[in-house]
């Protein structure tokens, strides 16, 4: 794939690439396309990791405020969970929820598993 892409970058046609590498024109085309996909996939995966980390940090803030009764923060936390699921490509438009979606949701909530949760006591005060 790398050699096919290199030849293409030098201006070779797919037929020329095929003849040079001893493969079919179709194979030469596919090798170049696969090499291009691989080049774009790696940076895209890096961007995805950065965006997921940002969402995780924002979610932690929203979660803390939500647990104190802030309704706007509850909506924000849910939106961030939804966005995380979409970035993973797990948004499901069916009546069934896949195990992947449930696992992703579980992982999101486990991020703060050790974080103390404040609850409202009968006098209206927040306690851990």
Mean pLDDT for 97-108 is: 61
Higher pLDDT, 21 or 59: 21
Mean pLDDT for 99-108 is: 62
Range of the structural domain that residue 48 is part of: 2-117
Residues near 96 by Cβ (< 8 Å), separated by ≥ 6?
A: none
Between CA 75 and CA 92 the distance in angstroms is 20
Cβ(26)–Cβ(4) under 8 Å? Answer: no
Mean pLDDT for 2-21 is: 90
Residue 123 placed within a domain: no
Q: What is the pTM of this model?
A: 0.43
Number of domain units in the chain: 1
Residue 126 placed within a domain: no
Mean pLDDT for 38-51 is: 75
Residue 127 placed within a domain: no
Residue 125 placed within a domain: no
Residue 124 placed within a domain: no
Whether 40 shows a pLDDT value over 80: the answer reads: no
Residue 122 placed within a domain: no
* Model pLDDT, residue 26: 93
């Amino acid at each position: 794939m790398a050699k096919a892409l290199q030849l293409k970058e030098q201006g070779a046609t797919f037929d020329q690439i095929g003849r040079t590498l001893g493969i079919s024109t179709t194979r030469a085309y596919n090798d170049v396309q696969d090499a291009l996909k691989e080049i774009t996939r790696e940076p895209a995966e890096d961007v995805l990791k950065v965006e997921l980390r940002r969402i995780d940090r924002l979610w932690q803030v929203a979660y803390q405020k939500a647990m104190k009764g802030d309704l706007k923060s509850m909506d924000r936390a849910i939106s961030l969970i939804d966005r995380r699921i979409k970035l993973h490509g797990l948004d499901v438009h069916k009546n069934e929820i896949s195990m992947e979606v449930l696992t992703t949701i579980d992982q999101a909530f486990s991020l703060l598993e050790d974080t103390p949760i404040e609850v409202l006591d009968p006098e209206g005060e927040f306690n851990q």
